[in-house]
Amino acid sequence: MEVLVESISELGQQNIEKLAYDFYILQIVDSLMALKLRCEEYGFECDFSLEGEESIGLIEKLKTHFEEEHGIEYPIDAVIQMIQNRGYSLDSIKK
């Protein structure tokens, strides 16, 4: 009985590791394909969102939205840092 429990435990751990790895890969692939920016993710009660190819242009649109709709003027570097804090890499943002 102890051997069976050990085998099930090992199988469970392998499945968890595989699922975690698959999820990690999906996140990388997803982040390479499109940048998804939602204003609410940056602390505002707002439904504004942007989605598209990763580019500095998309970030500038978010910056402009912060200024025009929320009255907050962030430097572009601060907006980029906010996006990096959400899990996007600097290389993928500035493509």
66-93 confidence digits (pLDDT tens): 999 999 999 988 988 888 888 877 666 6
Q: How far apart are CA 50 and CA 42, in angstroms?
A: 13
Q: Do residues 57 and 89 share a domain?
A: yes
Please give the model's pTM, rounded to 2 decimal places. 0.59
Domain count for the chain: 2
Q: Do residues 5 and 20 share a domain?
A: yes
Q: Do residues 23 and 49 share a domain?
A: no
Tokens standing for residue 16:
């968890």
What is the DSSP secondary structure assignment for residue 75, as one 8-state letter?
-
In terms of Cβ atoms closer than 10 Å to its own Cβ (0-12, 13-18, 19+), residue 48 is middle
Q: Do residues 77 and 90 share a domain?
A: yes
Closest CA to 44 of 68, 76, 75, 77: 68
Instruction: Name the one residue in this structure whose structure tokens are 């940048």.
Output: 35
Q: Do residues 48 and 89 share a domain?
A: yes
Q: Do residues 45 and 86 share a domain?
A: yes
- Determine the structural domain holding residue 73 and report its residue range: 34-95
